[in-house]
Amino acid sequence: MFKITNTTKAPAAIGPYSQAIEWNGILFASGQVPINPEVGDVTAEGIVDQAEQVMKNIAAILEENGLGFENVIKTTCFLADMGDFATFNEVYAKYFTGKPARSCVAVKELPKKVLCEVEIIAIREK
């Protein structure tokens, strides 16, 4: 069995997918873009503010599942511009202090023309 995450503290899925699914103690979270869940749209401008909103969205999904950033073992990060890499890393490092495994790639375009997206895998036991 698996459990689907559905919290109003993170943006609702903008397509046919779940915010996250937990299976056998492993949480697989869909990519989070900087949508402000209170208004249902992107309100942050610039890579710093957008990355901060992404981290808030991830935190909400983790909290809904009784987990924290320390439970994250893998992230995949997508940037619209690799020129934002260093600035994105500054925000990222404040949250992922346990240094999970990570991939970070530049992509041609992200949903809603945002600057960053992050997906995570977390485990219940560490």
* Residues labelled catalytic: 104
CA distance 55 to 91: 9
Q: What's the CA gap between 3 and 79, in Å, rounded?
A: 29
* Alpha carbon distance 69, 13 (integer Å): 21
Residues 62, 122 contacting (CB under 8 angstroms): yes
Nearest to 57 by CA among 14, 86, 109: 14
Please state the φ and ψ torsions of residue 22, each to the nearest 5 degrees. Answer: -105, 130
| Tokens (6 digits) for 103 | 């991939």
